[in-house]
Amino acid sequence: MIKLNKKQDCSGCHACANVCPKQCISMKSDNEGFCYPQIYKDKCINCNLCEKVCPIINIPNKVDDKITAYACKNIDNKTRNVSSSGGVFSLLCDYVISQKGIVFGAVFDENFNVKHIYVEELKGCERFRGSKYVQSKIGDTYTKAKKFLDNGKIVLFSGTPCQISGLDSFLMKKYENLIMVDVACHGVPSPLVYKKYIESLEEKNRSKVSRLSFRDKSTGWSKYSFIVDFKDGKKIKEIGSDNIYMRGFLSDIYLRPSCYDCRFKKPITSADITLADYWGIQNIHQEFDDDKGVSLVLVNTKKGQDILEKISSNMKVIKTDIEYAMENNPYIVGSVKYNKNRDKFFKLIEKEDLESSIIKSITNTFIQKVKCKIRSSLGKIKRIIIK
């Protein structure tokens, strides 16, 4: 039976809960809002399938074909505009749906919680567009995907690298009709913090949220905006780096514990294709950059290459230097650093409002500021002495 020694050893992928033949594992939220398996021992038959499919216990040992990197833009600007980077994921959806396949990905539900669902028609795929910066709940989607695969349907499954490794592990065999796509991942924020944020927005604005975009491009792709529309017609629009939720997210104070030591960074991957933002594109393919979003597409397998060729007539594509692309996108290969204020933050939100808890946890204290100043002055003195 699966045993969790420390929280860092669970990415919350739901593989164990999906595989249990007795349904004796359920995923329960902890006090930080992240899901962990809870086992009802009375029902357990000690089949150990839960351990067998855990992608952290059995890290995928992928010695794969060489990874190839491309800069890609969907030629349909309308779609690219509402996607987070170059709108490549929508092209993959178009292809799979045209083959009467099924697409799995992350959407907002009616209360703006983020969860995985599947879609069989092109219309529904619009909900997948755009990065939602919170951990998406996998639920029973691995089980559903397996049923479609066993019935011979083409399945496109997208998610964070841990979710895709979880699926791969859960399936326990390779399916020719499965396309696995992961998104490069900074780390996933707490669903509890996100929920508190939505509640505080609704309370302050005395209206329910009707639309949310973490990465609106109306102020540019590099200087994206955070947008919220409310049911009563009000609207909030802030530059992403000014938005309090994004500031907390990018300061790494409320990511899942496993994200600080993510086991699914490149070159380990189960995915056929990895989608990322091509940060730094302006310095290497200047003519390609129009500040409307370019995807960095990493092709990890032969299947991934075949699929990319199938959608390439609807994209502008150039082969690119993988080393350069990775240097500009550090979280494709490495984990974020643990923020020492993380514990303080989770204690603060128990008694204070979210905004002030974030501000207190991301702002350097006076002592920290003094220490930084001393360190940087010492660095300058050292450099002068060396010269």
Task: Select the residue interacting with ligand FAD from 88, 119, 259, 281 (CB under 6 A).
Answer: 88
Stretch that binds ligand FAD, among 52-60, 154-162, 262-270, 360-368 (CB under 6 A): 154-162
Q: Is 73 in the site for ligand FAD (CB under 6 A)?
A: no
Strands of 84-177 (E only): list them: 102-108, 114-119, 155-159
Q: Which of 56, 294 has the CB closer to ligand FAD?
A: 294
Count of C-beta atoms within a 10 Å radius of residue 70: 22
Q: Is 89 in the site for ligand FAD (CB under 6 A)?
A: yes
CB nearer to ligand FAD: pick between 186 and 266: 186
Q: What is the nearest approach in angstroms of ligand FAD to the Cβ of residue 201?
A: 18
In this structure, what token pair is assigned to residue 285?
Answer: 């393919």
Select the residue interacting with ligand FAD from 13, 19, 34, 136 (CB under 6 A): 136
Which residue of the chain is nearest ligand FAD when measured via CB? 105
Nearer to ligand FAD, 160 or 341 (CB): 160
Minimum distance of ligand FAD from residue 186's CB (angstroms): 3
For CA atoms 333, 337, 343, 344, the dihedral sign is negative
Give, as ranges, the residues between 111 and 130 that touch ligand FAD (CB under 6 A).
114, 128-130
**Cβ-Cβ contacts under 8 Å for 327 (sequence gap 6 or more):** 280
Tell me the C-alpha distance between 49 and 26, whole Å.
14
Rule CB under 6 A: is residue 87 a binding residue for ligand FAD?
A: yes
Select from 37, 55, 105, 161 the one that contacts ligand FAD (CB under 6 A). 105
**In the complex, minimum distance from the CB of residue 202 to ligand FAD, in angstroms, rounded to a whole number:** 20
The beta strands (E) that lie in the chain are given as 25-29, 35-39, 68-74, 102-108, 114-119, 155-159, 178-183, 209-216, 225-230, 235-239, 273-277, 295-299, 315-319
Q: Which is nearer to ligand FAD, 149 or 298 (CB)?
A: 298
Site residues for ligand FAD, window 285-344 (CB under 6 A)? Answer: 295, 329, 331
- ∠132-356-346 over CA atoms, to 5°? 65
Contact 252, 187 (CB under 8 A): yes
CA distances from 76 to 293, 299, 313, 328 (A): 12, 22, 11, 26
Enclosing H/E stretch for 351: helix 342-351
Residues in contact with ligand FAD by the rule CB under 6 A: 83-90, 105-106, 114, 128-134, 136, 158-160, 183-186, 188, 275-277, 295, 329, 331
